Amino acid sequence: MKLVTIIGARPQIIKAAALSRAIRNHYANQIQEVIVHTGQHYDDNMSQVFFDELQIPRPAYNLHVGSASHGVQTTRMTEGIEALLIKEQPDYIVLYGDTNSTLAGAIAAAKIHVPIVHIEAGLRSFNKSMPEEINRIVCDHCSTLLFTPTKAGLENLKREGFSIDEGGPSTLRQAQDSGTAKPTIDNPKVYHCGDIMYDNSLYFADIAEEKTDIIKRLALSDQPYILATIHRDSNTDHPERLSAIFRSIIKLSEECQVVLPLHPRTAKLLKTNLDENLQKQIFSCQNIKLIPPVSFLEMIALERHAQLIMTDSGGVQKEAYFFKKPGIILRPETEWVEIVETGNAILADSDEMRIMQAWQHFKDNPPTVFPEIFGDGHAAEFMLEKILQVKQ
């Protein structure tokens, strides 16, 4: 069987590590994977570092699309992916998550009838002003095999009309088979399978401790610190929202160190969207460590040792939960509703007061119970099993 896997943005490169590892370890004789990098992310620390560190096979192709407006970026990718699908003739295209690379893969494949496997299907923010919400809805509705990481994802797909076998228990790993006919775009199959990012976090956690010295390098060994990331356009592109988040970071830094690996989008927009005074305060504050994007092993080491994680990232929200850390979510809503429902994360949006209240809440009530809602760390093997099975 041949799979063409599309990656492009940082989190997709990281997710691909889990699937490629499972192919290498268990299915090397049955599955050939051709990796296509769209080039959506291209800085070494947003792309190459992950190939070097996580043993991801080199992409067979790189479309080098780079940064551009949504329309231009997606169109360039779609054109490139279509040509490669025609050349490679895969059994399936594998798409991750909800970026423009996902959308381009979905459009290109669906129109020339290459069946789509969507990993991280069913997630919804119910906020269509997010580019990712449009991308994930389109991709889900063009897919043949949908692998959803959470029960909330499964429920969303049901609500949108996906046929799911109500007869079987909807426990994790239960195949939700809509009949016995071979799956197609018109008769898709939905599986609730656990989270592929959890596979990676479990697999790399101890390796990270061994192989990175970032905690020592940043002199954090005996220091409580907050780890923060910000990159959503809804925060970075709005001066008032970005300023409110940074004002709260300054307040937090009076009590605790704040470590902030800066996404290139944020690094650029800090300089235009914050006033000079705020910039001066941030850049001169001893307790705020603004650093370039870090590698995945460095990131999970930072997550594991943090007191609390504050983020607008989808992946980092979940990793906070995986490593049993309280999370402050810098968004008005989340697709990962379970982590909020269990009380381990608080939605604070970009509201200074809500951010400070959430910090106080978690200082007074550090969470201790993190139910298993993301599977058992073997989502990748489960997916590959199903992909092979339905093909027979």
Tokens representing residue 214 in the block: 């970032």
Binding of residue 343 to ligand UD1 (CB under 6 A):
no
Residue 322 or 382: the one with the smaller Cβ distance to ligand UDP is 322
- φ/ψ of residue 122, rounded to 5: 85, -5
Binding of residue 11 to ligand UDP (CB under 6 A):
yes
Among 268, 280, 324, 363, binds ligand UD1 (CB under 6 A): 268
Q: Of ligand UD1, ligand UDP, none, which one does residue 42 interact with (CB within 5 to 8 Å by kind)?
A: ligand UD1
Q: Which residues are catalytic?
A: 231
CA neighbours closer than 13 Å in the CB half-sphere of residue 352: 12
Site for ligand UDP in 224-243 (CB under 6 A): 229, 231
Among 299, 309, 320, 339, binds ligand UDP (CB under 6 A): 299
Cα 189 to Cα 92, 142, 176, 186, distances in angstroms: 14, 12, 7, 10
Q: Of ligand UDP, ligand UD1, none, which one does residue 173 interact with (CB within 5 to 8 Å by kind)?
A: none
d(CA 333, CA 60): 37
Task: Give residues with Cβ within 8 angstroms of 127, minimum separation 6.
Answer: 133, 332, 333
In SS3 terms, 308-342 reads as EEEECCHHHHHHHHHCCCCEEECCCCCCCHHHHHC
Residue 99 or 317: the one with the smaller Cβ distance to ligand UD1 is 99
Among 11, 183, 194, 326, binds ligand UD1 (CB under 6 A): 11
Binding of residue 10 to ligand UDP (CB under 6 A):
yes
Among 100, 148, 235, 317, binds ligand UD1 (CB under 6 A): 100
In SS3 terms, 20-74 reads as HHHHHHHCCCCCEEEEEECCCCCCHHHCHHHHHHHCCCCCCEECCCCCCCHHHHH
Shortest reach from residue 204's CB to ligand UDP, in Å: 10
Q: Of ligand UDP, ligand UD1, none, which one does residue 78 interact with (CB within 5 to 8 Å by kind)?
A: none
Binding of residue 293 to ligand UDP (CB under 6 A):
yes
46, 264 contact by CB (below 8 A): yes
Binding of residue 90 to ligand UDP (CB under 6 A):
no
CA neighbours closer than 13 Å in the CB half-sphere of residue 87: 11
d(CA 70, CA 133): 13
Q: Of ligand UD1, ligand UDP, none, which one does residue 299 interact with (CB within 5 to 8 Å by kind)?
A: ligand UDP
60 by Cβ neighbours in 10 Å (0-12 / 13-18 / 19+) ranks as middle
Shortest reach from residue 15's CB to ligand UDP, in Å: 8
94, 4 contact by CB (below 8 A): yes
Binding of residue 315 to ligand UDP (CB under 6 A):
yes
Binding of residue 54 to ligand UDP (CB under 6 A):
no
Q: Of ligand UD1, ligand UDP, none, which one does residue 100 interact with (CB within 5 to 8 Å by kind)?
A: ligand UD1
Binding of residue 99 to ligand UD1 (CB under 6 A):
yes
Stretch that binds ligand UD1, among 9-17, 82-90, 118-126, 238-246 (CB under 6 A): 9-17
- For the CA atoms of the chain, what is the radius of gyration? 21
d(CA 316, CA 328): 11
What's the farthest any 2 CA atoms get from each other in the chain?
Answer: 64
Residues within the interface to ligand UDP (CB under 6 A): 10-11, 14, 229, 231, 261, 293-296, 299, 313-316, 319
Summarize as ranges the residues that interact with ligand UD1 (CB under 6 A): 9-11, 40-43, 46, 67, 98-100, 131-132, 231, 263-265, 268
